[in-house]
Structure 1
Amino acid sequence: MAFTLYAATIPSYLQLLGSVARMIDKAETFCADTGLAPEALIEARLIDDMLPLAYQVKSTAVHSLGAIKGVRRGTFSPDNTTPPDSFDGLRALIAGTITDLGAIDPDEVESFVGRDIRFEFGSNHRDFLAEEFLLSFSQPNFYFHTATAYDILRMKGIELGKRDFIGQVRTKV
């Protein structure tokens, strides 16, 4: 069986989004156990000039499902909407993203190969082939924001390890 664009994207998105969902649960439990206000985690940043946890979580949805939607449209732009401001809101965003990604037909993703997509930001733009956009732009952004969310939570004292980040690996069936 040939390696496919679907295999290179959707299963890994789903794997790591499952990890993000579990990290949100651990963050909420940490707040309940320690008396820390949820906002202290939701608005936490690694450093002042970086965006907070809520943005990092939102960006995992943007650079997975949002990227697929962008390829469908032929354009992708930064998502400047306000991220959810509660654990329930973040959880719902990730759950909806997982559901929608899980419903994508692998043949549809294969039909993206060779398709043009334009990344637009303000008056600037970059043109990509869909597979290059997904693999060289959105996928690295997806991993960056997932790792940054993990790092913020670790920095705040939540017990997370590599297995929490990696999640359920796909083994030979």
Structure 2
Amino acid sequence: MNIDMYSASIPVFDRFLTNLSGLLGKAEAHAESQDIAATKYVVSRLYADMAPLSSNVQFACDTARRCAARLAGEEPGSEADDEATLDELRVRIRRTRDYLAGVDADRIRGTEDRTVLLETPMVTMEFTGHDYLLNFALPNFFFHVSISHGILRQQGVPIGKLNYMGAA
């Protein structure tokens, strides 16, 4: 069975980035209502050796943007990872969503067999577009969105699964 690579990527990324922005908004409201510095959340981690909330939001945004670029046959750009407030993280999400909104669906559709190279200083991985999207990009994206949710929940922000899913 073939999948529509566009429908399986861009709208999914956009929806969960919208949800993630909503989680950050709930965190900001909670911090204000509890007289907590909202920056506490930005640097919070689930465990000492794990990345903080800021990095997880940045990684989620980067994964979505880079996936769209790679599937479209473009070179993925990069952004400075310098967000220090919840509002700045929401701005980064907005920029990512704006980028995704500008991706031509026809550049993504039909990329199941496109070769996608993921090069790092330590390893080069080669995927088909299909395998890259379904077995690398989407799981990586959802990992970072889920960890972001978990960090906020651990810090006492009153959110749950419906917030993660975007239904509340």
Deviations 1:70-104 (A, max 9, x none): 34456679x79434111221011101111221222
After superposing the two structures, state which structure 1 stretch, 68-77 or 25-34, moved more. Answer: 68-77
Give the Cα–Cα distance (whole angstroms) in 2 for the partners of residues 91 and 18 of structure 1: 9
C-alpha contact 2:46 2:151 (8 A) present in aligned 1: yes
Deviations 1:137-156 (A, max 9, x none): 01100000000000000000
Deviations 1:25-51 (A, max 9, x none): 111111111121122100000000100
1:62 correspondence with 2:55:
no
Deviation at 1:134, TM superposition (A): 1.5
* 2:139 corresponds to: 140
Deviation at 1:6, TM superposition (A): 1.0
Judged with a 3 Å threshold, the aligned counterparts in structure 2 of structure 1 residues 72 and 8 are, in CA distance, closer, same or farther, namely: closer
Structure 1 segment 91-110 matched on structure 2, within 5 A: 91-110=90-109
TM-score (norm 2): 0.89
* 2:31 corresponds to: 31
Unpaired runs of at least 5, structure 1: 169-173
* 2:44 corresponds to: 44
Judged with a 3 Å threshold, the aligned counterparts in structure 2 of structure 1 residues 57 and 142 are, in CA distance, closer, same or farther, namely: same
SS at match of 2:118: strand
C-alpha contact 1:75 1:117 (8 A) present in aligned 2: no
The total of aligned residue pairs comes to 166
Identity of aligned residues (%): 25
TM-score (norm 1): 0.87
SS at match of 1:160: coil
Judged with a 3 Å threshold, the aligned counterparts in structure 2 of structure 1 residues 112 and 3 are, in CA distance, closer, same or farther, namely: closer
Deviations 1:93-150 (A, max 9, x none): 1011112212222211114232112111114211111221121101100000000000
Give the Cα–Cα distance (whole angstroms) in 2 for the partners of residues 25 and 101 of structure 1: 21
Give the Cα–Cα distance (whole angstroms) in 2 for the partners of residues 83 and 73 of structure 1: 27
Give the Cα–Cα distance (whole angstroms) in 2 for the partners of residues 21 and 76 of structure 1: 22
C-alpha contact 1:74 1:117 (8 A) present in aligned 2: no
